[in-house]
Structure 1
Amino acid sequence: MISTHTTEYKATALKDAEQLSTSTDYDKAISILNDALVILPNDSDVSAKKASYEKLNEEKKAVERKKKMEEFKNSQEVVAESAGIAIQSTEYKAQWPDMIQVIVRNTTEKTVKSMKVSMLGYDSNGYPVKIKRKYGSESFEFIRTAENINIISKGTFGKGNGWEVDESHGIKTVLAVVKEVDYYDGSKWTNPYYEYWLAENKEKPLH
Structure 2
Amino acid sequence: MNKLFKVNFIIICILLMVACSNESNNTKQKENSHEEQTSESSVENVTENESNQSKTSTDEKKEIKEVEEKPKMLTEEEMKRKIEEQSLKVISKDYIIQDEDYKTLYPDMLQVIIENNSGTDIKNAVIAYAAWDENGLPLKIQSDSPLDSGKYIPLANAEDINLIDGATYGEESGFSISENMDQIEEFEAIVVSYETFDDETWENELFDDFKRLYEGQRRKD
What is the aligned partner in structure 2 of residue 38 from structure 1? none
Which 5+ residue runs of structure 2 have no aligned equivalent?
A: 1-44
- TM score, norm. by length of structure 1: 0.67
Is the alpha carbon distance of 1:181 and 1:91 closer, same or farther for their aligned partners in structure 2, counting shifts above 3 Å?
same
Q: How does 1:112-191 map to 2 (within 5 A)?
A: 112-135=122-145, 136-137=147-148, 138-169=150-181, 170-191=183-204
8 Å contact kept, 1:76–1:193: no
What is the aligned partner in structure 2 of residue 83 from structure 1? 93
Percentage of matched positions with identical amino acids: 23
Coordinate RMSD, CA, aligned: 3.3
Runs of 4+ in 1 over 2 A off after TM superposition: 25-28, 64-75
The aligned amino acid for 1:146 is A
Which 5+ residue runs of structure 1 have no aligned equivalent?
A: 29-56
Richer in strand (by share): 1
- TM score, norm. by length of structure 2: 0.63
Per-residue CA deviations over 1:146-184 (Å, capped at 9, x if unaligned) read 111111111111112012111111211111111110112
What is the aligned partner in structure 1 of residue 205 from structure 2? 192
User: Would you say how many aligned residue pairs link Structure 1 and Structure 2?
Assistant: 165
